[in-house]
Amino acid sequence: MRSRVLALSLIALVQFCALAVAQTQPTDADAEKEKKKKEENERIVKMLDHIIDDGSSLRLANNRAIVFAGAGDLYWQFDEKQARKLFRDAAGELLTYNQEIEKERKENPDPYADLYTGQSDVRGEVLPLVAKHDAEMALDMLLQTRPAKVTDAMARVGAAKGKATNDMMSWNPDRQKADQEIALEQRFALLAADENPEKAIKLIKDSMAKGISYNVMPLLQKLNKKDEKKAGELAGDIIKKIIDLDLAKNQADMGTALRFLQYAFKPELPDNSTGVKDPREKLFKFSDDQGRDLGRRIADVLSEPSKSMTIAMALNQAMPMLEKFVPEKILLLKLREGENQTNMPPEVKKMQERQKVWDKNATADELLAYVAKTDNEYEKANAYYYLSRKINEIEDDTRAKKLIEQIPDEKARTNALEQYEAARITRTAITGKLDDARKMIGGLTKKKTQIQRLVALALEFKKKGTEKDIANAKGLMKDAKALTNDLAESDEDIADVMEVVKGYAKVDPDVAFRIIEPVIDQINDYVQASSVTARYNVRSGSFKKGELILQVAGNQWDMPLYRYIPQMQLLGKADLDRMNTLADHFARTDTRLIVKLYVLQGFLKDDKKPDEPEQQYYGYW
């Protein structure tokens, strides 16, 4: 009996070991998957090498810097050594660009030439690509490639500390350049904080020695998650730095101080990578003493008699916050506010009123009241825009429609109703009532809105993944496509077609690839025509020496090329090789290169997690 039990135990042990070995041994399926992944990576690297080779032939140094940095960013996961070389090549091109710009500046007597001759902030686009992989390398490159004009501006700003500055209507280009450079430096320090908080603190302090910036707030939030004590100590240093500033003489410093006071009054979580605040994150807060110290310093400045409009407007903005931190000073501050209002020019009073309306906490009723008072058509248009957004957030149909009925302008009223109905459809779809949402789309009157809602609903059906839901998605896309013009000619026609491409890229990519081909021909025509007209317009900021000025984060309102990058990225996700071949249809080297970089960037971007909102790949790499 005992030997039988032993035999059974041995058999069980052998079976267990065999099962364990089988589980640890790679299967044929795993080997095939690994082989395909390796082949895919080799194709991507080959594509990148072609982009780099073609990028070397570009005429503009800033464009070569964009291509090398973009390729380096994508190369990092395959060959870090090659990526670093590309980043160094990009830095070399930035230095060449600085030299070219300096030469042009000396030869051009126009002091405002920088504003319209394509002298873009290419460092601000290239260096963040480096910083996401190696923040210290980015900081070194920041110093290495700093243009002489920025160095001079920072020196002048430093020398002017403690001296009075112009009032709020002035524009100080030196201060702007210096602030942008300091903000970039602190941004890289923020990235360094993920790996080395102590070094990040030092970097932030070094940067603060050159000026105070609100950009340290995300760093404090990061440090707070790892070490509350260190974050609190750094916060104390920041408050002390602000208190030592002459806020009465420097409007920019006063503005920064007010932003810190606002945070102390109402702390907020920073947006995460999806643009959504994560409520699970531990929130950094200034201590009560720090809030009072800052409030006391600002109150002392604002309670002094002053004819400065900046000080008057700052007092108006700060009063609710100061009531919390320094209630003992409110009586004097209100007296000063009354004096300011009496002496304030009418145009400034209007500006104050306008600021209150544009505040994110303004209600729909306040916006309606403002529309009734203003005669400025531009301001009315903006008020209607924000009013429509506010109404869209209301889930009570009766309340929302009552507000819409109060809009005096018929066109604005119709548009607000259309947008509200579109928002209702979106809410209905999100709750899973897709069939109800489909019926509601028929009640929309604008073709454009109908197309947008049909595409959005098709994507919701596609997510469910059943055979029936996919059939519904294809049916919705067919309805959306039927609403577009077969011969898209106007800008609006092309936008409608590309909205349909966005949906088909996920629902049925073959259809999307067929639809987009004629649009590429139209983009070619647009870019080439723009290039020709730019020769006769010295203020063109899109072309230089006949070459399109490339951008890491293209302005979607600039031209169709950048506007429809998201659709091309989605098609790259669906079939990279086919989209890469399609990109060859772009006639110009500059447009072809930037599209291929964007497509690869979209393809290599991690797919979103199931619980994250739908995101487009467009934007910074």
Residue 131 confidence (pLDDT): 92
Token readout for 617 is 């790949």
Residue 505 confidence (pLDDT): 96
Confidence band of 580 (pLDDT split at 50, 70, 90): very high
Residues 215, 203: Cα–Cα separation, whole Å: 13
Residues 527, 276: Cα–Cα separation, whole Å: 35
Residues 568, 512: Cα–Cα separation, whole Å: 10
Q: Annotate 600-612 with DSSP letters as a single string.
A: HHHHHSPPPPTTS
Mean pLDDT of 251-275: 77
Residue 611 confidence (pLDDT): 37
pLDDT above 70 covers a percentage of the chain that reads 81
The per-residue b/e assignment along 196-226, b for 16 or more CB within 10 angstroms, e otherwise, is ebeebbebbeebbebbbbbbbbbbbbbbbee
Residue 431 confidence (pLDDT): 80
Q: Is the pLDDT score of 84 beyond 90? A: yes
Question: 590 phi and psi, to 5 degrees?
Answer: -60, -45
DSSP character at residue 165 = -
DSSP character at residue 543 = E
Residue 348 confidence (pLDDT): 64
This prediction's pTM = 0.73
- For residue 142, give every residue at least 6 positions away whose Cβ sits within 8 Å of its Cβ, in sequence order, or none: 123, 127, 181, 184, 185, 188
pLDDT tens figures, 594-608? 999 999 999 998 765
Q: Is the pLDDT score of 273 beyond 50? A: no
C-alpha dihedral (458, 462, 468, 471), degrees to nearest 10: 50
Token readout for 322 is 């100061």
**Which burial class, exposed, middle or buried, applies to 587 when counting CB atoms under 10 A from its CB (0-12, 13-18, 19+)?**
middle
pLDDT tens figures, 300-350? 999 888 777 777 778 888 898 999 999 999 999 988 888 877 766 676 666
Domain boundaries, the chain: 1-50, 347-431
Residue 19 confidence (pLDDT): 53
User: Are the CB atoms for 424 and 393 separated by under 8 Å?
Assistant: no
DSSP character at residue 446 = -
Residues 215, 195: Cα–Cα separation, whole Å: 19
Q: 45-59, 267-281, 355-369: which has the highest mean pLDDT?
A: 45-59
Lowest mean pLDDT among 120-129, 205-214, 273-282: 273-282
Residues 548, 531: Cα–Cα separation, whole Å: 7
> Which stretch of DSSP H or E encloses residue 478?
helix 467-482
pLDDT tens figures, 448-474? 999 999 999 999 999 988 999 999 999
Q: Which of 94, 95, 152 is nearest to 125 (CA)?
A: 94
Of the chain, the end-to-end C-alpha distance in Å amounts to: 70
Q: 23-37, 188-202, 261-275, 392-406: which has the highest mean pLDDT?
A: 392-406
Of 62 and 395, the structure prediction assigns the larger pLDDT to: 62
Q: Is the pLDDT score of 568 beyond 90? A: yes
Q: Is the pLDDT score of 618 beyond 50? A: no
Q: Is the pLDDT score of 140 beyond 80? A: yes
User: Are the CB atoms for 145 and 61 separated by under 8 Å?
Assistant: no
Residues 610, 465: Cα–Cα separation, whole Å: 13
Confidence band of 161 (pLDDT split at 50, 70, 90): low
Three-state SS at 554: coil
Lowest mean pLDDT among 387-391, 508-512, 570-574: 387-391
What are the percentages of helix, strand and coil residues in the chain, rounded to 5?
70, 0, 25
- For residue 618, give every residue at least 6 positions away whose Cβ sits within 8 Å of its Cβ, in sequence order, or none: 556, 565, 566, 569, 598
Mean pLDDT of 43-60: 96
